[in-house]
Amino acid sequence: MSAPDRSWTIAPTLMWFGVVFAIGLWLLDGNMQAVADRLTHQAGEPEAAAKAPGFTPAPTVVADAADDEPKAGLPAVGGRGDRARGSALEDTCIEGTPDACKRWAMDGFYRALVAEAGNKLGRAVRVSWYGDSVVATDAIPGRLRSRLQSEIGDGGPGFVYVIPPHRFCAHEGISRSHGGTWATHAISTQQIADGLYGAGGATAETDGGKATIKLVAGKATQVELHYLTQARGGSVSVKADGADVLTVDTKAEAKTGMVAKASIADGAAQFVVQTTGRVRIFGLDLENGSGAVVDNFGIVSVNAKSFGHHNASHYAAELVHRSSDLIIVMIGANEAVWLHPGDRATKEYQVNYEKVLAPIRKARPDATCLVVSPTDQAEAKDGGYPSKPVMPLLVDAQRKAAHASGCAFFSTYDWMGAKGSAAKWFRKGFVGSDFIHLSRKGANKLADAVYDALMGGYRQHAVH
């Protein structure tokens, strides 16, 4: 009698389990890169920010609140006499003393606004906003972009990823579509060995792929293609409203970040990137000759250590070329998940944050660097939602790092009400029940506060 057929054994079972598991993660996170992120994520640094904005771990009831409800914390900006402290926006004296300061950190941005108002800047005022998933959705940068462009003029979308490194990396000024196969890499998700990510911290590579970017409103009269030369590199072309405006050959002996630019006299609303062969792209800069732009450089899962994945010399060169007048850094939401008072990593956080700011300050010493702290975060405990004990320590470390590095500081934590404010914001519908990602009206509220602080400081600067 023959033995029973046992060919359907543990190996095929595990294989099928793996397939089902991968499909499940695909449905949750949207692509195989996200699957890889989950499988390769290191313990000890939870990827909390990779959750979708509005992620709800348990059913909750959120009370509504008016967007213009008075704030319990600090005003966004105070008088010129208290630029160092006394308002959410704390300026830093980088030449002289606070009582007799010759140069403040915010002066570079204010000078750019003055030059733009007098038609002397010669380009759009540039703001680059770096951050984690709280920023990546573009709800906060997008609101600031809208407010600045209403005040100063439409400078265009600014720097945009041709292919975003994660599906939650958005830009409300454009829509994107693509064809062919693209591989994306970023400083916090799927890193690439050479560390070459451009100014925005992300890169996309393809072999014959195509991408289309459409402006939601208005047109752009200037386009820059940011790409990498490399051995066996292919060619890439850019069409603006159907007309050829750029064609470059990316083949070279060495890997080097390069920029090709073109002007479109009447402007264009649609830009098509077509590649032949192997091509690696950092992004497109779509601008007008005046107005304001706000780059969204927020990437899911970014934290203070992620910035160390940049190739230092390449990153510096890209920052110099981007020439942003204001560089905003808002990270810390991820660190707040795993840091605790007394941890060695908490004690070292200021030093690690200064390492984030150092290349920015070195490459762009005349620009304004602004650190925006994370919001208060809460945790479910004993039937309530107390603030995480690490929050004031984390915010204070960022404040000290900002001032030590010659950057201004905006304390979102203190502005929103400090300890206990996350629970209050949740009850008002300003933050989701993960206590990390802001609702649309919460994002608008924060962006409006940053805008008020920037423009309030500018108006004080302009009259002195």
User: CB–CB of 379/426 below 8 Å?
Assistant: no
31 lies in some domain: no
* Distances, alpha carbon 216 to alpha carbons 213, 269, 292, in Å: 10, 8, 16
Q: Could you list the residue range(s) of the whole structural domain that residue 68 is in?
A: 48-155+290-464
190-219 tens-digit pLDDT: 899 999 999 999 999 999 999 999 999 999
User: How many other CB atoms are there within 10 angstroms of residue 435's CB atom?
Assistant: 21
Q: Same structural domain for residues 267 and 223?
A: yes
**Higher pLDDT pick, 221 / 31:** 221
b (16+ CB within 10 A) / e for 297-330:
bbbbbbbbbbbebbbeebbbbbbebbebbbbbbb
Q: Which of 288, 319, 353 is the last residue of a domain?
A: 288
4 lies in some domain: no
11 lies in some domain: no
5 lies in some domain: no
293-307 tens-digit pLDDT: 999 999 999 999 999
315-340 tens-digit pLDDT: 999 999 999 999 999 999 999 999 99
Number of domains in the chain: 2
pLDDT for 4 beyond 90 = no
- DSSP assignment of 390-444: THHHHHHHHHHHHHHHT-EEE-HHHHTTSTTHHHHHHHHTSB-TTSSSB-HHHHH
20 lies in some domain: no
pTM of the entire predicted model:
0.85
- DSSP assignment of 189-236: SS--TT---TTTTEEEEEES-EEEEEESSS-EEEEEEEEEEBTTB-EE
* Distances, alpha carbon 141 to alpha carbons 99, 135, 330, 439, 448, in Å: 33, 7, 11, 14, 10
Q: Same structural domain for residues 77 and 63?
A: yes
CATH number at residue 113: 3.40.50.1110
Q: Which residues contact 464 (CB under 8 A, 6 or more apart)?
A: 80
Tokens 């007008």, located at residue: 288
Q: Same structural domain for residues 398 and 351?
A: yes
222 lies in some domain: yes
Distance of CA 458 to the CA centre of its chain: 23
